[in-house]
Amino acid sequence: MSKPSSTDKQATLTEARQRIDSIDQQLQSLISERARWAQQVGRAKGPLKAAVEYYRPEREAQVLRGVIDRNDGPLPNAELVRLFREIMSSCLSQQQPLKIGFLGPEGTFSEQAVRKQFGHAAYGLPLGSIEEVFQEVAAGNADFGVVPVENSGQGMIQMTLDMFLVSKATICGEVELRVHQNLMSLSGELKDVKRVYSHPQSLQQCQAWLRVNLPNAERIPVSSNAEAARMARLAPESAAIAGDAAARVYGLKIVAGPIEDRSDNTTRFLVIGRSIFPRSGNDRTSLLVSVRDKPGALYDVLKPLAEHGISMNRIESRPAHTGKWQYAFFIDISGHVDDEALQAALDEMKPAAADVRVLGSYPVALP
Amino acid sequence: MSKPSSTDKQATLTEARQRIDSIDQQLQSLISERARWAQQVGRAKGPLKAAVEYYRPEREAQVLRGVIDRNDGPLPNAELVRLFREIMSSCLSQQQPLKIGFLGPEGTFSEQAVRKQFGHAAYGLPLGSIEEVFQEVAAGNADFGVVPVENSGQGMIQMTLDMFLVSKATICGEVELRVHQNLMSLSGELKDVKRVYSHPQSLQQCQAWLRVNLPNAERIPVSSNAEAARMARLAPESAAIAGDAAARVYGLKIVAGPIEDRSDNTTRFLVIGRSIFPRSGNDRTSLLVSVRDKPGALYDVLKPLAEHGISMNRIESRPAHTGKWQYAFFIDISGHVDDEALQAALDEMKPAAADVRVLGSYPVALP
């Protein structure tokens, strides 16, 4: 193939830029039109006060699934979803931006989850504890809260589960952040590594790998994985555990990765609110089930789910704190509480359980 | 006017949602088409290695000015500009995301400036000092750096200016973040305020106002203005100084505002790089002029600018550290170094100055 001449190149550049200019004009008029229709939706709903009354997570999930279904590149699904979230975030914020409480400070994973779900036109409300997030949502000071509930390396986050035992919060959504850990250093050679820097959580997520591969290396906890990569760049005998982006950013070579002990290293967050939203078409339901302290009680409770063909995604038991019942179970199942099969199963569970509470039905996490 | 019936409302909602669905499909195909044309631009430029070779700040500025010129609502200019920055950021990151060094940690004003200029598809590289940002850009580890250069409450940031004396960095852009400070508390009453929480910089920006209006209140520096608002919410006799968003977010009442001593409280950042980009049509040029130590030297240097009708936006003198020349002047003027008038003025300045260095010509900051 012959190399394009510089005149050809210039012609291509000029054409591409003209096309992009014309595309941008169309994009702009469509975005503005979308914002006007979003206003119409607001008006049709009458004079409501809070942004939360305009927000429909099930509708957003449908829009974003449509985006993924239609996508044939070149942008990856996650990038297109991100752009549409931002467009929806801007359109929604015309009424009044949503206020989202999260476990602060700013710049943490929790804030990333907030931005992934609600975009940058929402107000983030950094709070001091998971408990405070629940309280602010209950008091109406935040429209929604985002709390970590599961880290695949370390299991469920008990504090969040326990809050549902004492709070009336509902679950309105879930957000997943996927993180792969890598060992990285200047030389990229395992034999050079005398010290490993990382955030304490990341060190913990990789402890089995470290025990086998670097039994004698010193492990030094630092405030963030970015800080770890920064330290590793300053000393050839140091390495950092961090995401692969950090290696590109800090000019380090990947020694090994992924090295997390669980290969699917995802942090899962719940969006908490004060109501349960309608079906999106691909939903999950979270139940809080208190069980009487007698043999076979849990089995009896789970039987209706199996019989109605409802798949169970997670189950976690917690001491129920009530004295009366020994255990509470957090159970995630597929489907929406408005589904007939799920309704029937719930009805059949009730006699076997001391209490069955639907914490929420919400769209399954998008990429 | 009669109230719309619930059937009318439902019809409007259904229509609005259908329109939005159709708009979203068109938006998606346009965004994908835009990304394909951006790939074409990349290919036409040949097999280049770094993302920086695809990035054209002058072109982005033109696109965004076009967006503002065409905007007739309902979204505000800043929101539309934000969305287009994100779309451009996604399209550009197909080649390879830009790496942007900034004064860390994450979550600071400097990171806000990075995101405002480069969107969320760029890699942010949080660094430990302004000096390190210059070093990483010089070494090619970062494509660009973002450094604070001016806070209207406190003047020029000397560290940044001094780095240009010892570094070959160029200026490729400027970013402005506008912040108004407000005093806020639970009661909203000035007489209740015994303590004022805020970030040290914000306390300093409002010191004249505090001296006059709250001479006896204790001033308590905290790590961020969000933290200040959080503290103020816990105690009725406390107030916070923060942006008005914090009052909405934390449920506080504005006692007074804006209360910053300079009414135009803007933090200005420079985008530093390794080259000077072509004209965008509305540009600023930064000069570093060393002047011989003799009477009237500065006057002689500035005369050609005046004679060629070039307006000067800023001037700041710094000790030149060379021993030989007493002063260096940082001068910002309107126009691009490729403009004829500016070329002529520069030629005429040279005999009067010991050295004239063009630090950069770059698009004037967008909203």
Pair A124, A271 in one domain: yes
Least-confidence region, from A254-268, B90-104, B165-179:
A254-268
What angle is formed at CA B88 by the lines to CA B130 and CA B134, rounded to 5 degrees?
15
Pair A365, A285 in one domain: yes
Question: Residue B234 belongs to what domain range?
Answer: 182-256
Question: In whole angstroms, what is the distance from residue B290 CA to residue B77 CA?
Answer: 40
What pLDDT, on the 0 to 100 scale, is given for residue A90?
92
Residue B74 lies in a domain: yes
What pLDDT, on the 0 to 100 scale, is given for residue A105?
65
Please report which confidence band the pLDDT of residue B48 belongs to, taking 50, 70 and 90 as the band edges: low
Residue B234 lies in a domain: yes
The pLDDT tens digits of the residues spanning A191-227 come to 999 999 998 878 888 888 999 999 999 999 887 787 8
DSSP string computed for A278-292: PP-SSEEEEEEEEE-
Residue B15 lies in a domain: no
Residue A24 lies in a domain: no
Beta-ladder partners of A271: A146, A173
Pair A101, A203 in one domain: no
3-state secondary structure of A170: strand
Chain A positions in Cβ-Cβ contact with residue B87 (cut-off 8 Å):
27, 83
Chain A positions in Cβ-Cβ contact with residue B73 (cut-off 8 Å):
32, 35
Q: pLDDT higher for A124 or A84?
A: A84
What pLDDT, on the 0 to 100 scale, is given for residue A345?
95
Pair A304, A220 in one domain: no
Pair B44, B100 in one domain: yes
Q: pLDDT higher for A23 or B352?
A: A23
H helices of A151-215, where? 158-166, 200-205, 207-213
Pair A115, A194 in one domain: no
* B91 with A106: Cβ contact below 8 A: no
The pLDDT tens digits of the residues spanning B184-236 come to 999 999 999 999 999 887 888 888 899 999 999 999 988 778 789 888 988 88
Question: In whole angstroms, what is the distance from residue A98 CA to residue A119 CA?
Answer: 10
Cβ-contact A315, A331 below 8 angstroms: yes
* B13 with A93: Cβ contact below 8 A: no
Pair A72, A42 in one domain: yes
3-state secondary structure of A192: helix
Q: Say how many domains are in chain B.
A: 3
Facing A107 at nearest CB: one of B33, B45, B105: B105
* A224 with B9: Cβ contact below 8 A: no
Pair B60, B186 in one domain: no
What percentage of chain B exceeds 90 in pLDDT?
49
Does residue A188 surpass a pLDDT of 80? yes
Pair B124, B270 in one domain: yes
Residue B9 lies in a domain: no
What percentage of chain A exceeds 90 in pLDDT?
49
**Shortest Cα–Cα distance, B122 to chain A (Å):** 10
Please report which confidence band the pLDDT of residue B117 belongs to, taking 50, 70 and 90 as the band edges: very high
Chain B positions in Cβ-Cβ contact with residue A50 (cut-off 8 Å):
none
Pair B271, B305 in one domain: no
Is the peptide bond preceding residue B278 cis, with omega within 30 degrees of 0? Answer: no
Question: In whole angstroms, what is the distance from residue B116 CA to residue A144 CA?
Answer: 25
Please count the residue pairs, one from chain A and one from chain B, whose beta carbons lie less than 8 angstroms apart: 213
What pLDDT, on the 0 to 100 scale, is given for residue A4?
53
Residue A245 lies in a domain: yes
Chain A positions in Cβ-Cβ contact with residue B38 (cut-off 8 Å):
16, 20
DSSP-derived secondary structure letter, A52: G
Report the Cα–Cα distance between both ends of chain B, in Å, rounded. 39
The pLDDT tens digits of the residues spanning B229-262 come to 888 988 889 999 988 777 877 888 999 888 887 7
Exposure of B72 by Cβ count < 10 A (0-12 exposed, 13-18 middle, 19+ buried)? Answer: exposed
* B31 with A83: Cβ contact below 8 A: yes
Facing A70 at nearest CB: one of B9, B28, B105: B28
Give the CATH number of the domain where residue A235 resides: 3.40.190.10
* B32 with A72: Cβ contact below 8 A: yes
Least-confidence region, from A63-72, B52-61, B102-111:
B102-111
Please report which confidence band the pLDDT of residue A1 belongs to, taking 50, 70 and 90 as the band edges: very low
Pair B210, B99 in one domain: no
Please report which confidence band the pLDDT of residue A286 belongs to, taking 50, 70 and 90 as the band edges: very high
Give the CATH number of the domain where residue A329 resides: 3.30.70.260
Chain B positions in Cβ-Cβ contact with residue A125 (cut-off 8 Å):
249-250
Residue B2 lies in a domain: no
Could you say which of B242, B275, B308 is where a domain stops? B275
Could you say which of A256, A291, A317 is where a domain stops? A256
Residue B102 lies in a domain: yes
Pair B313, B205 in one domain: no
Chain B positions in Cβ-Cβ contact with residue A123 (cut-off 8 Å):
245, 248-249
The pLDDT tens digits of the residues spanning B304-351 come to 998 999 988 888 877 766 555 467 889 999 999 999 999 999 999 998
3-state secondary structure of A295: coil
